[in-house]
Structure 1
Amino acid sequence: MASSAQPGTGPSEEFRFPGNRLGLPQDGPGSVATWGRRVLALFVDWLIAALIASAVTSKPIWAGGNDFSTAQLVTFFAMTAILTGLVGGTIGHRLCGLRVIPVRGGTTYTSQPGLLAGVIRAVLICLVIPAVVFDRDRRGLHDLAAKTVVVQRQVSGA
């Protein structure tokens, strides 16, 4: 299908890469995080929550059970909400070179998202489905609701 629009003005220019609409770079520090890094960070955080829950419930990780599962979910929620809101990312995010930043009115900031945004993100991540429904900028419903985006962090000393 042919288009009569001028080059650079069509809908394809609006979406050139994830984060383009938010003013983020295509790659490198500040660009939208890849799915692989995000999933790895989630796995690391879930494992840390399991270790803490294991210590609290005095059960090994593989034992499971309702009290262990509840302790793990509560620990994961608290870690995610507090660390994301106050320092811009969880332990898993830090280990994977990621950072959560606020987006307000289409503009991204380098400040921390804030505790309310951290709580919103954590609640929706714990519900799972909002985290797997996402837009063109790789922002899940949890990021859209909290007005945040996960980006690659600048590596210190590089």
Structure 2
Amino acid sequence: MPRWIDTWLPGSSPTTPAGDHPGERYGLPAEGANAVAGFGRRLAALTVDWLLGYGVTALFLGAEVTSSPFTVLAIWFVLTAVPVAVFGASAGMTALGIRVASIGSEPVVGVPRAVLRTALIALVLPPLMRDADGRGWHDRAARTIVVRTRA
């Protein structure tokens, strides 16, 4: 039975039952390339992207990087949203072998959905609220799913 939030959250499929493995309802394999990426791999990719944001900010601000968290957030936002919109993966995602795939027939995520997805990640809570397919609220709102690019 679908939860109440499934009825209004974009990208949800409350009428389709969960399968035996995450991503089965979207036609994804259980293991290997194109399988749903695990939480640990996604968290590691986010950490890499966040550290890159700090590094780029430190190049411009030097030692004052710790006194400007919103600048770091803005740099991280750009370093994440732009490559996800164009290529489907940020630098951290590429390093960890994952990418953001669009649910549906679109070949790329696109700018509006990448910006929405990244903004919701910045709020911290949406990625922690996950469904049976491992999709957080940010992925459901943007109609995306994170998959592995290699085994």
State if a TM-score over 0.5 links the two structures: yes
1:34 to 15, 35, 38: 38
1:137 to 90, 110, 133: 133
Deviation at 1:116, TM superposition (A): 1.1
Query: Counterpart of 2:47 in structure 1: which amino acid?
Result: F
Runs (4+) of structure 1 exceeding 4 A deviation are: none
Contact 2:18 2:133 in 1 (8 A): no
Aligned length: 135
Counterparts of 1:16 and 1:24, CA distance in 2 = 11
Question: Can you give the 5+ residue segments of structure 1 that lack an aligned partner in the other structure?
Answer: 1-12
**Helix, strand or coil at the partner of 1:149:** strand
Deviation at 1:60, TM superposition (A): 6.2
Query: Counterpart of 1:86 in structure 2: which amino acid?
Result: V
Counterparts of 1:145 and 1:45, CA distance in 2 = 21
Equivalent residue number for residue 102 of structure 2: 102
RMSD over aligned Cα, in angstroms? 1.6
Contact 2:84 2:100 in 1 (8 A): yes
Judged with a 3 Å threshold, the aligned counterparts in structure 2 of structure 1 residues 58 and 14 are, in CA distance, closer, same or farther, namely closer
Equivalent residue number for residue 128 of structure 1: 124
Counterparts of 2:114 and 2:96, CA distance in 1 = 19
Contact 2:45 2:95 in 1 (8 A): yes
Query: Counterpart of 1:141 in structure 2: which amino acid?
Result: W
Question: Which of 1 and 2 has greater Rg?
Answer: 1
Equivalent residue number for residue 114 of structure 1: 110
Counterparts of 1:152 and 1:14, CA distance in 2 = 20
TM-score (norm 1): 0.80
Within the alignment, does 1:150 sit opposite 2:146 as a pair?
A: yes
Contact 2:22 2:30 in 1 (8 A): yes
Counterparts of 1:101 and 1:21, CA distance in 2 = 14
Within the alignment, does 1:71 sit opposite 2:71 as a pair?
A: yes
Structure having greater relative contact order (Cα 8 Å, sep ≥ 6): 2
Equivalent residue number for residue 90 of structure 1: 90
Contact 1:49 1:75 in 2 (8 A): yes
Counterparts of 1:150 and 1:56, CA distance in 2 = 32
Q: Percent identity?
A: 34
Equivalent residue number for residue 49 of structure 1: 53
Deviation at 1:48, TM superposition (A): 0.2
**Helix, strand or coil at the partner of 1:58:** helix
